[in-house]
Structures are given as C-alpha cells and as structure tokens.
Amino acid sequence: MAINYEEIMSMASENIEVSYTDKDSILYSLGVGLGNDPMNLDELKFVYENSQIALPSMATNFQYHSPLLLKTNINFIMVVHGEQRLSVTNPLPVSGDFITNAKVIGCYDKGPSKGAIIEVETTVNLKKDNTEICKLVSTTFARGDGGFGGPESPKKELVRPEGKPDYVHEINTKPDQALIFRLSGDYNPLHSDPNFAKSAGFERPILHGMCTYGIACRSIIESVCDKDVKKLKRFDCRFSSPVYPGETIVTEMWKDGNNVYYQCKVKERDKMVIKNGVSEII
C-alpha cells in the first residue's frame, strides 16, 4: 500500500516522557567505541561515573522513544537512515527526566524506483523546568515506497572549503560494535541478523548509521573542540554508504570560522560513508 501523504504529514507524538540513567550514558559511549583504552583518561570520563560527561550525539537516542514511522505501512526491510541533524541548546546531562515532542515535517517522493524521504523533528526538554536541551531532525530513506504522488525533495548543496583537510582522525570499530550499540535502543535486525541483512541487500549486518554518526562526533570533539563537549552546537550529516563492523572510520575536517565541514570514509575500502557533514562550534 502506497504512502498516504496527508496522513503521514499529520503524524505527531506529544509530551512523551523519557528517562535515562548514568548507566545508559555509559552504554552509549561504549557503543561508539569510547573506553577501548582504559588508560585513556579523555575517554574514561565518558564511561566511568566519576566526573562523567555525555557525548552530544547521544541525544539521537531520544528518537527511539517516538517511533512515528512504525505506525505507517512503509517497507521496513528497505529502510535506511538518510540524514541526521542535531542542534544543541544546552549540554546533554548524563542522566535525567525529559519530555519529547516529535512530528513529521517532510515527506518527499523520489519516484517508483527510487523511494521516499521522510523527515521527523524531535524536540527534547527537561521535565522539571521545560529547559530545551536540543532539537533533532532524522531523515529516513524508504527505498521501497516511492511513487505515491508526493512533492519532490528539495535539492541541498553544501560547499566545503577547497584543499586538503585541516584535521584527519581515525577510529577503529570492533566486529561486535553493532551488537553493543543496539542496546541503546535500535534493535533493527539489519544490524544483528545475517539472514535479515542479506534479504535487505547487504552481505552481512551493517553498523547503525547512528553509531557512525557518534564516531564522527567523537572525531570532531577530539580534533576541533579541544575535547570539550560543550563547544559543539550543531552536528549534521548525510549517510552515503554503510559501514561494516570492524572497519576503520576516517574523518576529514575543514575548519571555516565557527563551522567545521567534514566527511567520513572507510579506510579498508576507501568508501565514503558520510558526506555533506557540517558542525558548528563555539
């Protein structure tokens, strides 16, 4: 059954209560590979409750609590994460009680053989005083659901500075990386079940796009933010190809004022996996 444009554009979830603990923050950090070296004190602060801090990209976990698209009839075997945007208003706490509001803000038709693009915006506020923490926009590429007669997707052009990158940062993933990361809330079998992955067109389970996103966020924090998470205010990207657990993610960065443009490649295959990346730092 085709997407009903009017119906999907009216979808929203309001005042969803979400709570997490310092253990959840540690689990997320382990899921993006922090703490692999227990003697690295810069990484230890993410995975040890003594003076613990949270990686800003962990805010994407809030999207799992308002799964609007599960109420649609799109073909989830053919679904992949297309883009992710994060705007940070206040630093993400390592634990707390929150209120989230989510709504569909865009649904675009790329054609019968090219799929559909669906955008969901999630706003996160502290429950105790309604202080805004962040806004997220997640773009889903529904590869099997084009041709429903919706509007065309707008063209987005991002021009990064020319020349060699100002910073290059490598992070190794582990063969079990996806099995750890999924415990933060994304249990899609595409990342754990070999047979499901093959039915979706992949040779084996792939790493979560949100894990790749978190690893890229680590590279920005470590390379450009003086390892200070509070300096990151915006973190956007487009996912261009999957990563397989065990591969090395190389992040290339170009600094232009308060903006940092970035892209990520898999070292072993020289394959671009994140492009059109842009972050804002203070």
Which amino acids are annotated catalytic? 186, 191, 206, 209
How far is Cα 83 from Cα 85, in angstroms, rounded to an integer? 7
Helix H or strand E encompassing 164: none
Residue where the block lists tokens 């202080």: 131
Instruction: Please state, in angstroms and rounded to a whole number, the distance separating the CA atoms of residues 236 and 137.
Output: 9
Looking at residue 175, its amino acid is P
Which uninterrupted H or E stretch holds 41? helix 41-47
Q: Is 92 exposed, middle or buried (0-12, 13-18, 19+ CB in 10 A)?
A: buried
106 burial type by CB count under 10 A (0-12 exposed, 13-18 middle, 19+ buried): middle
3-state secondary structure (DSSP) of residue 257: coil
Q: Which two tokens stand for residue 57?
A: 């990209």
DSSP 55: -
The H or E element that residue 137 is part of is: strand 132-142
Phi and psi at 109, nearest 5°, equal -105, 115
Q: Give the whole-angstrom CA distance, residue 238 versus residue 240.
A: 6
C-alpha Rg value of the chain to the nearest Å: 18
* Token pair recorded at residue 38: 């227990």
Q: What share of the chain is helix, strand, coil (3-state, %, to 5)?
A: 25, 35, 40
